[in-house]
Amino acid sequence: MASRLLYLVRHGEQDRPEVESPEIGLSERGHRQAALLGERLRGVPFAAVHHGPLRRATETAELVAAALPGVPVYASELAGDYLPDDTDPAGLPPAYGRFLEGFSERERVDGPRLAAAAVERFATAPAEGDVRELVITHNFLIAWFVRHALDAPKRRWLGLNHHNAGLTVIRYGTGGPPNLIAFNDVAHLPSELRGAGLPPNYRV
């Protein structure tokens, strides 16, 4: 039976998180998170590493790939940072409504188109054999893949938050629905490097 193991990772902590810019890379903590993630994944026989085009995702991929010699690395718009669904705010908490209102009309069209293409590319079983791929991306897309795997209502991508360098693994097979194997796993990070990307004072 053919299967795909899709490893999803949120990029390491961004330097100056209060500033929105595609040119901002990783903080010192983010570099440490990515390097430790690479050690965690060393030896996994990945077919490829894919990453979003923003600098923080690119730098994370470079640090992880250093522990994966011979594995090809590709930048992909599908792994980028975008709105995965033009979610109707009706019935949602007001904070979610305000958040969704911040997206432009173009983002409401382009984002769902990219998300659909990403699901078609990464969220299916291969024709034959077993494939492992790593996608280094952003919080929204990981939430969308998890929601898709669980066949949850579309709006449930909202509220799924992920640690920087947290690891989520989903198995897609030909014999049944997707299996969520790991979610937001940060066992490779010491306590002082956990919680980045989550609410203040959050600890695990």
Domains assigned to the chain = 3-193 (3.40.50.1240)
Helix 55-65, helix 28-41: angle, nearest 10: 40
**CA–CA separation, 69 vs 72, rounded Å?**
9
pLDDT of amino acid 23: 77
Token digits for 102? 């911040």
Q: What is the CA radius of gyration of the chain?
A: 16
Token digits for 127? 């024709």
Q: CB atoms < 10 A from the CB of 103, how many?
A: 14
pLDDT of amino acid 100: 95
Q: For residues 184 and 162, is the Cβ–Cβ distance under 8 A?
A: yes
Where the chain has pLDDT below 70, the residues are: 17-19, 21-22, 196-204
**CA–CA separation, 127 vs 3, rounded Å?**
9
φ, ψ for residue 43 (rounded to 5)? 90, -15
pLDDT of amino acid 159: 92
Q: Where does the chain have alpha helices with state H?
A: 28-41, 55-65, 94-101, 105-122, 139-149
What does each C-alpha distance from 110 to 46, 61, 86, 113, 117 come to in angstroms? Answer: 29, 24, 10, 5, 11
Please give the single-letter amino acid code of residue 145: F
pLDDT of amino acid 128: 86
Looking at the chain, the whole-number percentage of residues with pLDDT higher than 70 is: 93
6 strand-pairing partners: 133, 170
pLDDT of amino acid 21: 67
pLDDT of amino acid 53: 97
Strand order across the 130-137 sheet: 73-75, 48-51, 130-137, 3-10, 167-173, 179-185
Which positions ≥6 away from 61 have C-beta within 8 Å?
Answer: 49, 51, 73, 136
pLDDT of amino acid 175: 81
